[in-house]
Amino acid sequence: MELDDASDMISPIDMDKAAGLAFRVWTYKQGEMVSLMIHLGDRLGLYKELTDCGEVTAEELAEQTGMSARWLHEWLLSQAASGIIDTENGESFTMSPESSAVMADDEGSLLFAAGAFAGPIPPDTVDSLANAFETGIGLTYEQLGPIAAHTTDRMLGPWSRLALVPELIPRIAGLQQRLGAGARVADVGCGTGTALFALATAFPQSTFVGYDPSRHAVDLANERMQERDLTNVSVLCEGFEGLPAEPTYDLILSFDCLHDMTKPKEATHAIRGALKDDGIWMVKEIRAGATWAENQGNPMLAMMYATSVATCMSSALSEEGGAGLGTLGLHPELLEEMSRTAGFDSIEKHDIGDPANMYYEIRP
Between residues 78 and 194, which has the closer beta carbon with respect to ligand SAM?
Answer: 194
Give the nearest distance from C-beta 234 to ligand SAM in angstroms. 15
- The nearest distance, CB 267 to ligand SAM, in angstroms, is 6
154 and 115 in contact (C-beta within 8 Å)?
yes
Closest CB 211 distance from ligand SAM, rounded Å? 6
Name, in order, each residue with C-beta under 8 angstroms of 128's C-beta and a sequence gap of 6 or more: 139, 143
CB-nearer residue toward ligand SAM: 105 or 260: 260
CB of 190 to ligand SAM, least distance (A): 5
Closest separation in Å from C-beta 140 to ligand SAM:
7
Helix 215-228 vs helix 194-202: angle between axes, to the nearest 10 degrees?
Answer: 30
Strand partners, 184: 207
User: In the bound complex, what is the minimum distance in angstroms from residue 212's beta carbon to ligand SAM?
Assistant: 5
Of 78 and 308, CB closest to ligand SAM: 308
Closest residue to ligand SAM using C-beta atoms: 191
Cβ(286)–Cβ(327) below 8 Å: yes
Helix ranges (DSSP H) in 205-253: 215-228
Q: Which of 105, 212 has the CB closer to ligand SAM? A: 212
State in angstroms the smallest separation of the CB of 230 from ligand SAM: 17
Instruction: Find the shortest distance in angstroms from Cβ 104 to ligand SAM.
Output: 21
Classify residue 279 by its DSSP letter. Answer: E
At residue 233, what are phi and psi to the nearest 5 degrees? -130, 140
**Calpha distance 212→190 (Å, rounded):** 6
Of 190 and 209, CB closest to ligand SAM: 190
Which chain residues interact with ligand SAM by CB under 6 A? 141, 152, 156, 160, 188-191, 194, 211-214, 217, 239-240, 255-257, 260-261, 315
Complex with ligand SAM: residue 115 or 191, whichever CB lies closer: 191
Tell me the Ramachandran region of residue 89: left when phi exceeds 0, alpha when psi lies from -120 to 50, beta otherwise: alpha
Q: How far apart are CA 51 and CA 202, in angstroms?
A: 30
E strand or H helix at 233: strand 233-236
Sheet holding 92-94, edge to edge: 56-57, 92-94, 86-87
Cα–Cα distance measured from residue 271 to residue 258, given in angstroms and rounded to the nearest whole number: 11
CA dihedral 192, 358, 314, 302 (to 10 degrees): -120
Nearest-5° Cα angle at 234, 229 to 239: 145
CB closer to ligand SAM, 266 vs 336: 266
Length of the chain, in residues: 364
- d(CA 66, CA 49) in angstroms, rounded, equals 12
**Other CB atoms within 10 A of residue 245 CB:** 8
Nearer to ligand SAM, 41 or 157 (CB): 157
Minimum CB–partner distance for residue 258 and ligand SAM (Å): 8
> Chain-centre distance of CA 327, in angstroms?
10
| Closest to ligand SAM by CB, 85 or 218 | 218
